[in-house]
Amino acid sequence: MTVATSERLQLDWSIVAYMAILHLGALAVFLPGTFSWQAVGVMLLLHWVTGGLGVTLGFHRLVTHRSFQVPKLLEYFFIFCGTLSCEGGPIDWIGMHRIHHLHSDQANDPHDSTKGFWWSHMGWMLHKLPIREEIPRFTRDINGDPVYRFLNVAFIPIQIGLGLLLFYLGGWPFVVWGIFVRIVAVFHCTWLVNSATHMFGYRTYESGDRSTNCWWVALLTYGEGWHNNHHAFQHSARHGLQWWEIDMTWMTIWLLQTLGLATKVKLVEKEG
pLDDT (0 to 100) of residue 38: 98
Q: pLDDT (tens digit, 9 = 90+) per residue, 200-217? A: 999 999 999 999 999 999
User: What pLDDT, on the 0 to 100 scale, is given for residue 269?
Assistant: 74
Per residue in 31-42, pLDDT tens? 999 999 999 999
Non-local (6+) Cβ contacts of 226 within 8 A are: 213, 218, 239, 240, 241, 245, 247
Measure the CA–CA gap between 247 and 242, rounded to whole angstroms.
10
Pick the closest to residue 79 from 178, 154, 134 (CA basis).
154
Paired residues of 69 in beta bridges: 263
- pTM listed for this prediction: 0.94
Domain boundaries, given as residue ranges, for the chain: 3-271
**Rounded mean pLDDT, 49-64:** 98
